[in-house]
Amino acid sequence: MNRRDFLMSSLGMVGAGAALAPAALAKPKAKRAGQGDGAFPPGFYWGAATAAYQVEGAYREDGKGESIWDRFVLAPGKIKNGDTGNVACDSYHRYMDDIALLKAMNLKSYRFSIAWTRIQPDGTGPVNQKGLDYYNRLTDALLAAGIRPMPTLYHWDLPQNLEDRGGWPARETADRYAEYAGIMGKALGDRIETWSLFNESKTFTALGYNQGVFAPGRKDPYAFIRSTHTVNLAHGLGYKALKAANPKLKVGSVYDVTPMIPASDRPEDVAAADIWDKWQNLWFAQTVIEGRYPEGVFPADRQPELLNWKDGDADRMHADLDFVGFNYYSGTLCAYGKEASGVPLIDVDAKWPYAPPALETAKTDFGWNVYPQGFHDILVRMHKVTGNRPIEITENGCAYNMGPTADGQIHDPQRIAFYRGHFAAMLQAIKDGVPVRGYHAWSLMDNFEWASGYSQRFGLTWVDFANGTRTIKDSGKWYAGVAAANTI
C-alpha cells in the first residue's frame, strides 16, 4: 500500500468519531467478507492471554528465585508510580478465579507463561518442585474446565543469576534455556501439546539491552545485537529439547509484527520500509524457520563478529516450527532519516533509514495507533514466510482505562470497537488464505503493564488492584458472545 492509500484508509477510520463507532471500523472489511458471512472456521480457538510476571504476584513464594523484572522494578524511576509485579493480579493464588473468567467468556484456549524462576530459581540446577506444582495445578484445572493450556516458556523474566552471568548477550544463556525447556516438556508434556518458545523476541531484546527501559535496563547496542543471536540460538535449541522430551509436542514461538508502510513513494522511504521489515518482522521468525538471517540489515563482512557467530550456528538456531504465533497491535509508517526514531545507532548502522512519522489514525489511551487494516496486511505478509504452518494470534488488544461507573460495571465501547474492527480484518485474512486457527485477546484481565505499571489497562476484565477482585467489562461480555457464536 502506498502512502496515499494508507493515509486515506487511516483517515477513514478517524473521521468524526469513527474510532468509537464499531460499524465504521468494521464496514469496509465486512463488505468484502460478504454480508452474513462473518463465520470463523469450525473449531477456531477463541482465547485470552496473560504472562507470569504481569499477573502471578507471589514473587518470593514457594522457593521462587529472583528474575530480572523482580530486580528491575526496584530501580528508582524505571516503573510508573513505582509499581511492581510483587502482587499483581495474585493469580498464583487466584488462578481458579481466572479460569472462571475464561469459562464465563466461553473461551477454549488460555495462553499463559511459565516463570522460569519458579522452576529453576537460579536458571540452572535442580527443579523447584513447589514451583512446578503450581503449573501442574493450573494445567489440570484448565483441562478440567475444557480449556486448552497454551504456555509460553519465556515472557521476559530471565533468572537474575543468568543476567549476572551475561544475560541474553551471552551464548551460554541459550544452553540454560534449552535445559529449562526440556524440564518443562518432560513435566507437562503428557498433558500440554501446544508450546510457545518465546514471546516477542524483538521487543525484550531491544527494550532490555538497547534502550534500557525494560529489564535488565542495559543500553549497549552491541550487547543488544548479540542478544538477538542468542535468542535465535535458544529457539533452535529449545525446540529440539522439547521434541527430545516428547516428540508429540507441537512447538511454535510468538513474534510481534507490524506492517512497515513507506511514508511516500520515494525510493528512500520504500527502502526504509524494506529494511525495517527485515529487522523487525523477519529477524527472528524467518531466521528460525529458515536457519539463516535476512540479508542487508548489517554489512555482510561485519555480521559474524556482531552476532558472535560460530560454525554450526545455522543448524543450532534452525527450528521447523509446528505453528507460529503473531502478536499485532498497530502499523508503522517508515521514512528515511537518521536518529529521529530515538533508537540508538551503532557505527555500522549509522545509515539505517528510520524516522517514523506518527501514523494518522485514532489512538488508544496508551497512544497506540488503531489500525485494523494493518492486521490483515501483516498476516498476509507473514504467511509468505511461514508457509502452510498454522498461525495463532497470540495477542491483540488495546489499553483503555475507564473504570467502573455508578452501576459497578465497566462500559468500554472503544475496546469493543477495536476488537470488532480487528476481527473483521482477521477474518478477511483467513478468507484470503492465511491459515489462522486461533485468537487470544490481550488480555484476559488488567495487569502489570511493564514500565507503565498499572496505569494502562488492556483487560477484558477489570481488576481492582487494592483487593484483587475481578469484574468482566462490557467488552468481555461482548467477546463471550463472539466466542460462543464463532462469528462476527
- Which residue, 128 or 369, is less far from ligand IFM as judged by CB? 369
Pairing of strands 323-328, 391-396: parallel
The residue among 50 and 161 lying less far from ligand IFM, judged by its C-beta, is 50
Contact predicate 113/52, CB 8 Å: yes
Q: Least distance to ligand IFM from the beta carbon of 113, Å?
A: 9
CA distance 292 to 286: 8
Q: How far is the CB of 452 from ligand IFM (least distance, A)?
A: 8
Strand partners, 67: 159
Minimum separation from the CB atom of position 51 to ligand IFM (A): 5
Residue 54 or 428: the one with the smaller Cβ distance to ligand IFM is 54
Select 200 or 313, whichever has its Cβ closest to ligand IFM: 200
Quickly count: other Cβ atoms within 10 Å of residue 160's Cβ. 23
- Location of C-alpha cell 499477573: 55
Give the Cα separation of 320 and 333 in Å (integer): 31
Q: Which candidate in 56, 66, 392, 395 is catalytic?
A: 395
d(CA 407, CA 179): 51
> Is 395 annotated in the active site?
yes
Task: Judge whether 392 counts as a catalytic residue.
Answer: no
Angle between helices 372-386 and 22-33 (to 10 degrees): 40
Least Å distance between CB 389 and ligand IFM?
A: 21
Q: Is the separation of the CB atoms in 441 and 419 below 8 Å? A: yes
Residue among 253 and 428 whose Cβ is closer to ligand IFM: 253
Report in angstroms how near the CB of residue 449 gets to ligand IFM at its nearest: 5
Q: What angle do CA 63, 64, 65 make, to 5 degrees?
A: 115
Sign (positive or negative) of CA dihedral 9, 10, 11, 12? positive
Q: Report the nearest approach of ligand IFM to the CB of residue 155 (Å).
A: 6
Cell of 264: 511516500
Q: Which of 66, 163, 200, 449 is catalytic?
A: 200
Q: Which helix (H) or strand (E) holds 13?
A: helix 3-14
Instruction: Specify the residue, 151 or 182, whose C-beta has the smaller distance to ligand IFM.
Output: 151
Is the CB of 50 or the CB of 287 nearer to ligand IFM?
Answer: 50
C-beta of 395: minimal distance to ligand IFM in Å? 5
Distance, in Å, from the CA atom of 85 to the CA atom of 475, rounded to the nearest integer, reads: 25
Non-local (6+) Cβ contacts of 421 within 8 A are 13, 22, 25, 26, 29, 370, 372
Minimum distance, C-beta of residue 289 to ligand IFM, in the bound complex (Å): 21
List contacts with ligand IFM (CB under 6 A): 51, 54, 200, 327, 395, 442, 449, 458
The smaller minimum CB distance to ligand IFM, of residues 309 and 368, is found at: 368
Nearby residues of 391 by Cβ (< 8 Å), 6 or more positions away: 323, 324, 325, 326, 379, 382, 383, 434, 435, 436, 437
Cα separation, 91 vs 12, in Å, equals 41
Cα–Cα distances (Å) from 97 to 91, 243, 461, 478, in that order, read 8, 33, 11, 19
Residues noted as catalytic = 200, 395
